[in-house]
Amino acid sequence: MKLNTLEKLYLCLRDGQPEIIVPEETRIGAEKSIRRMLDISAQLGL
């Protein structure tokens, strides 16, 4: 995270680069985790 800067974030959002490609099974597992975190925060009213 130390290597991330506002300029790099801006360029990434502007240009859509660098593109990160992950295996589908990894993406599905990550999505499940994120959805659980969002569901919990919604239940808590955060």
3-45 pLDDT per residue, tens? 899 999 999 999 999 888 999 999 999 999 999 999 999 999 8
How many folded domains does the chain comprise?
Answer: 1
Asked if the model's pLDDT at residue 46 lies above 90, the reply is no
The pLDDT, as a whole number, for residue 27 is 95
> At residue 2, does pLDDT exceed 90?
no
Residue 45 confidence (pLDDT): 82
Q: Decide if 1 is inside a domain.
A: no
Q: What 3-state DSSP class applies to 2?
A: coil
Evaluate if residue 1 carries a pLDDT over 90. Answer: no
Tokens 């990550």 label which residue? 30
Range of the domain at 20: 6-44
CA 34, CA 25: separation in Å to the nearest integer?
A: 14
Q: Is 32 contained in some domain?
A: yes
